[in-house]
Amino acid sequence: MSALDDVIAAETRLSEVDGVNGRLVICGHSLDALAGRKTYEAVLALLLGDLFPGSEDTLRSELAEARLLAFQRVARLDTDLLSLPITEGLRAIMARLPDGEDKSAALLQIAAPAVFVPALIRGKSGKSPVPPDAGRGHAEDMLVMLTGAQPSAEQVRALDTYLVTVSDHGLNASTFTARVVASTRAGYASAVLAALGALKGPLHGGAPGPVLDMLDAVRAPENARSWLTSELARGERLMGFGHRIYRVRDPRADALKSALSRLGAAGGMDAARLALAEAVEREALALLRAAKPGRVLETNVEFFTALLLEALGFPRDAFTGVFAAGRAGGWIAHAHEQIETGRLIRPQSRYIGPKAA
């Protein structure tokens, strides 16, 4: 049964995922030209050019103002909310934001996950939230809100690289969800909230935490082959490998691997952890090639996401929330594009149940 494989459900100017050649293009720019070279705000200016005409600098200050607005809600983080896993806590607090199709509702949706995720992480360990500072860039501010300390330039660049790398990716499950909800004219907050629900699943944005669980279980490079072999024998999927569209390596994995190498060279990455990850990747690819000879299963974005976000100090149950902080830009851009079409998304199903008596 099809899961809409190969169905073209939207026309978009935002991004192109070329699964055959392993290429991602965002608004006419190859990912290689953006990741590690441009800030998240610069890429938002590309994605949201129609919605917020203006320079990168204008967007930077508007987004910073939206972070300050989002932070006003952080004071209301209650114990019920802090007892939830971070993705669910994020979903709950995002649900309290006002809906609408105006620019301020859109900006708040993009800014809010970057404020709420660090506040939830700190709140869960009894620490008070660190307020945003409109003078900082989005990635730098997110790291300060996480740790309360000034990050290094290489750490800021690494988080910017991550946010840019995941900012948009064609009609993935969460983006499609955002477009469906936006097409009903429910508003940006509803679209992002629904997208967040779709992102949470382990087959989409919930995979990077389990990637670290896998590395912890393997423990040492020499155990990789036997551990992975027994997982596959039990019918388990190896987290961080495979993709519905890519038939070659996910270009985002390479962008993040380069960011990790730069972070490692600047002393911001544990060398033993990187060596373990490289051994797991090497063995997993060899085993998957042997197990599924007819299907190219390569490393996907989630594998290196896990290592990068861990090195930056994010706990593993916050990884999906950090993903949302980057993807929120793409969700809003797609929601806007869908609204502009003026068309409700309403596919059909084929009835295969019993005939009426």
Contact positions toward ligand ACO, by CB under 6 A?
Answer: 203-205, 207, 237-244, 292, 295, 297, 300-302
Distance of alpha carbon 268 from alpha carbon 201, whole angstroms: 29
Nearer to ligand ACO, 109 or 320 (CB): 320
Q: What tokens appear for 100 in the block?
A: 């609408």
Strand-strand pairing, 15-18 and 29-30: unpaired
Residue 300: exposure state from Cβ atoms within 10 A (0-12, 13-18, ≥19)? buried
Backbone angles phi, psi at 17, to 5 degrees: -105, 110
Min CB(119)–ligand ACO separation in Å: 24
Min CB(55)–ligand ACO separation in Å: 30
Distance of alpha carbon 242 from alpha carbon 225, whole angstroms: 18
The residue among 326, 307, 316 whose CA lies nearest residue 210 is 316
Distance of alpha carbon 13 from alpha carbon 183, whole angstroms: 17
Min CB(21)–ligand ACO separation in Å: 18
DSSP string, 130-187: PPP-TTS-HHHHHHHHHHSSPPPHHHHHHHHHHHHHTS-BTB-HHHHHHHHHHHTT--
Nearer to ligand ACO, 39 or 165 (CB): 165
Min CB(287)–ligand ACO separation in Å: 9
Nearer to ligand ACO, 97 or 297 (CB): 297
Min CB(244)–ligand ACO separation in Å: 4
Question: Could you count the other beta carbons within 10 Å of the beta carbon of residue 65?
Answer: 16
Q: What tokens appear for 51 in the block?
A: 């919605």
Residues found in the chain? 357
Nearer to ligand ACO, 39 or 305 (CB): 305
Distance of alpha carbon 204 from alpha carbon 301, whole angstroms: 10
Q: What tokens appear for 7 in the block?
A: 């169905």
Min CB(203)–ligand ACO separation in Å: 4
CA 174, 179, 183 angle in degrees (round to 5)? 150
Beta bridge partners of 16: 25
Min CB(241)–ligand ACO separation in Å: 4
Distance of alpha carbon 43 from alpha carbon 200, whole angstroms: 24
Nearer to ligand ACO, 195 or 301 (CB): 301
Q: What tokens appear for 84 in the block?
A: 């939830």
Please identify every residue annotated as catalytic.
243, 302
Cα 44 to chain centroid, rounded: 14
Nearer to ligand ACO, 91 or 169 (CB): 169
Closest chain position to ligand ACO (CB)? 242
Nearer to ligand ACO, 122 or 252 (CB): 252
